[in-house]
Structure 1
Amino acid sequence: MSAGAPAPRVVIAVPTYRRTALLPELVAAIAADAAEAPAQWRILLVDNDPEASARETAAALGVGHLHVPAPGIAAARQAALEAAEGDELVVMIDDDLVPEPGWLAGLVETWQAHRPDAVMGFVRYVWPEGTDPWVAAGGFMRRTRFPTGTPLQALSTGNVLIDPRRARELGVAFDVALGLSGGSDLDFGHRLLAAGGTIVASAESVARDDIVAARTTRAFVHRRAVCQGQVRVRIMSRDEPALGARGEARGTPRGRARARARVRRGGAARAPARRRGRERHLPAQAVVRAGQGAGRARPLRARVRPPRPCSACRSRILITACYCA
C-alpha cells in the first residue's frame, strides 16, 4: 500500500450453523488479530440456522448478524459477498477454525501486493492426542502451504479473501444449488478462473482446525474421501465450462470425456485390493486415492435417484453416509 493510501475495508464473515458455543472464542481471536492488521474491519456472523440461533450470541459479542434461512452453506457464502458495502473486501473463515497471529494481515497484504480476485490462506489441521497413527500420517486432512503469491487453480473458502466487486464484474456467484451437496467453493473457484479471474495463495495467513475426535476414525476418513470424489466429479461434469488442470474447458465434449475417463480409472483403483481382502491394510494414502476414485465413479450412476438428506447437517449426500459429525 502506498504511503497515505487508505487502509482497505474488510468485512470478516463467519458462516455458521448451530455452533454458538464456538463463536465467543472465535470472535475474540478474530478481533485480537484484526486489531494488528492494516485494514478497517467489521465482523459479521452469517447465521444459516432457520431459527437464527446465533442472533443472541452476535448481540452479546457486539458484532453484526445476518440471518440466511435458505438451507446450505452456498447460500451463506453468497449472502456474505452481497453483504459487502461499497469497496469492502470479504474475508471468510469457517466457524470451527481459529485464526493464528498474522492471519488477517496475511490475506490483506497479499491482496495489496498482487491484486488478485481471491486470496486463499492456509488451514493447519491439528489431530487430537491419541489419534490412530495410521490416520494421522495418512494426509486425510492436509493442505499444501504454497508460497505467498503462487497462482492457484482451485479455491476453498475455509480461510479466504474475495473481492466481491470483481466477482460481480465477472458474473461469478456461489451456486446455491450446490449448497446441500457440497462443492460450491470448488465450483466458484473454477468459474472465477474460467471468467479470467485470479486466485493466489497467502502462506502468512494461517487458521487452525482442531479436529474433533469423531473425525479421527478410519471409517470417517474413508467416507470423507469418497464424498470428496463425488463432489469433484459432479463439478467436473457440470455443463458450464470450467478450466481443468491443463487449461482445458471441462464443459466441452472433450473435457467431459476426459473427466469420465479419469472417473473410470479412479473407480477401478481399489478393486484389486478388495478382491485380495487386503483393503484395510493398504497404506493410508492409498485408501485416500481409492476412496476418492470410488466416489468419482459413483455420482455418474447416482443421478438416477435423488440424494438422501442428512438429519444432522442437512447436506444431501449421493451415496455414502454424511461425514458431518
Structure 2
Amino acid sequence: MNRAKAPQPLILIGIPTCMRPRMLAICLQSIGESALPENVEVRMVVADNDFNESAREVVEEFACNAPFPVDYTVCAERGLSNIRNHLFDYAIKIGADYIASTDDDEGPVSATWLSDLYTVIRETGGDAVGPVHGEYKAVKNPPLPSRNIIISARIYRNLKIRYDPLFNLTGGEDTDFGKRAIAAGAQFIADPRCQANAWIANPDTAPAEARGHHQGGWFTLRRHYNRVRVLTYANRTKKQKPATHILVEAVFYFIKGVVLLPFAIFSIEQRLRCGKSFLKSVAYPMSLFGPGRYEPYRDMDGY
C-alpha cells in the first residue's frame, strides 16, 4: 500500500518595508540568490507599511523571477508593531509553520541565510532563533532582535503572542515581544550560525547613504535611552516591575557607570557601555513619568 507523503513544512519569508524601495530591492535580490533549505515549501510576502504602495513595483519585478511564490500586501496603519503583527496574521492565514524575517534596511542577507535559520531551529527545537546579540550574549533564553529571525507557529498561532502597539514609533517592540513570549513558555535561542546581515556585521560595506542608518554614537545612545525608558514604562504598567525595583536598578546602573568611567578612554565600545549605564540610571526613574515622546520611527529614513 502506498502511504501518502507527509506535507512539507511551510516557511514564510516575511519582509516588512516602508518607503525604502532601493534598500528593499537589495534585500530581496540577496534572498532570491541565497540557498533554500531542502524538503520544505518556501513562500514570501512583502508587507508595505506605506499606504501609497511605494514598494509594489519593486516586489512585482522581483516576483517575476523569484525561486518561490511572492505576494505583496499593504498594512496602511503605520508602526513597527502593526506591520509585524500584519505578517503574523498573513502567516496564520496561509498555514505557515515558520516565519523567517529580516528588515528592509539591513542590507544583503548571507548566501545561506534561510538554510542556517531553519537548520538551527530544527536542531535545537527552539521556538525562535536568531543571531547572538550584544547585551544578551550571556543570557540563556534571550529576547532576539526582530531582524534576521525565524519564529515557529507555536508563538504566533498557539501562544498568540503579538507585538505591543505601544512601541509602534519608539522601537523596542522586539525586546518586549521576546520577554513576553519567554514568560509564556517559549524558548528563544541565539546561535552564531544565524549570521547577521552584511551591513550590520560590517557597516563599512554599506553604501554611503545607508551608513548613517547603522552608525553614530549619539544616535545609538539616544535610541538606547528611549528603548530603556519605554520598556521600563511598559513593564511597570503591566505590573511586572514595581517603582521601588526601578529606582534600585537606577542606582545600580549609576554606580556601574562610575566604575566603567576610567575604562571609557580605551575604546568606543567601552565609552558606549559606560554611556548606556548612565543613560539607564536616568531612563529608569524617568519611566515613572511616562514612556517619553521620542519617536524615531515616525519619519522614515533610508532610501
TM-score by length of 1: 0.73
Question: Are 1:227 and 2:237 counterparts?
Answer: no
What displacement does 1:143 show?
Answer: 7.5
Question: Are 1:263 and 2:250 counterparts?
Answer: yes
- 1:77-88 alignment runs, 5 A limit: 77-84=84-91, 85-88=94-97
Amino acid at match of 1:33: S
- 1:91-240 alignment runs, 5 A limit: 91-97=100-106, 98-121=108-131, 151-210=140-199, 211=203, 212-214=210-212, 220-239=216-235
Asked if 1 retains the 8 angstrom alpha-carbon contact of 2:81 and 2:167, the reply is yes
Quickly say closer, same or farther: Cα 1:110–1:281, change in 2 above 3 A: closer
What displacement does 1:280 show?
Answer: 8.4
Amino acid at match of 1:223: F
CA distance in 1, matches of 2:171, 2:84: 12
Q: Gaps spanning 5+ residues in structure 2: where?
A: 64-69, 204-209
CA distance in 2, matches of 1:14, 1:82: 13
CA distance in 2, matches of 1:260, 1:155: 26
Q: Gaps spanning 5+ residues in structure 1: where?
A: 124-141, 243-249, 316-321
Q: Which moved more, 1:97-106 or 1:184-193?
A: 97-106
Asked if 1 retains the 8 angstrom alpha-carbon contact of 2:10 and 2:95, the reply is no
Task: State the Cα deviation string for residues 140-161 of structure 1 (Å, max 9, x = none).
Answer: xx58889xxx952222111111
RMSD: 3.5
Asked if 2 retains the 8 angstrom alpha-carbon contact of 1:229 and 1:295, the reply is yes
What displacement does 1:68 show?
Answer: 1.0
What displacement does 1:122 show?
Answer: 5.3
Partner of 1:318: none
Quickly say closer, same or farther: Cα 1:65–1:295, change in 2 above 3 A: farther
What displacement does 1:107 show?
Answer: 1.4
What displacement does 1:21 show?
Answer: 0.6
Partner of 1:35: 36
Identity of aligned residues (%): 20
What displacement does 1:35 show?
Answer: 3.5
Partner of 1:245: none
CA distance in 1, matches of 2:150, 2:237: 24
SS of corresponding position for 1:80: helix
Quickly say closer, same or farther: Cα 1:179–1:34, change in 2 above 3 A: farther
The structure with the largest helix share of the pair is 2
Quickly say closer, same or farther: Cα 1:283–1:259, change in 2 above 3 A: farther
What displacement does 1:193 show?
Answer: 0.7
Partner of 1:128: none
Quickly say closer, same or farther: Cα 1:53–1:289, change in 2 above 3 A: same
Partner of 1:70: 77
Task: State the Cα deviation string for residues 184-227 of structure 1 (Å, max 9, x = none).
Answer: 0000000001111111133323232322432576xx22331242
Question: Are 1:298 and 2:283 counterparts?
Answer: yes
CA distance in 2, matches of 1:145, 1:103: 20
Amino acid at match of 1:225: L
Question: Are 1:287 and 2:271 counterparts?
Answer: yes
* Number of residue pairs matched by the alignment: 279
What displacement does 1:230 show?
Answer: 3.1
CA distance in 2, matches of 1:151, 1:6: 33
CA distance in 2, matches of 1:215, 1:53: 20
CA distance in 1, matches of 2:256, 2:100: 38
Question: Are 1:307 and 2:293 counterparts?
Answer: yes
Asked if 2 retains the 8 angstrom alpha-carbon contact of 1:152 and 1:200, the reply is yes
Task: State the Cα deviation string for residues 268-301 of structure 1 (Å, max 9, x = none).
Answer: 6557999xxx998463233212322233213642
Amino acid at match of 1:228: H
Q: Which moved more, 1:27-36 or 1:178-187?
A: 27-36
The structure with the largest strand share of the pair is 1
TM-score by length of 2: 0.77
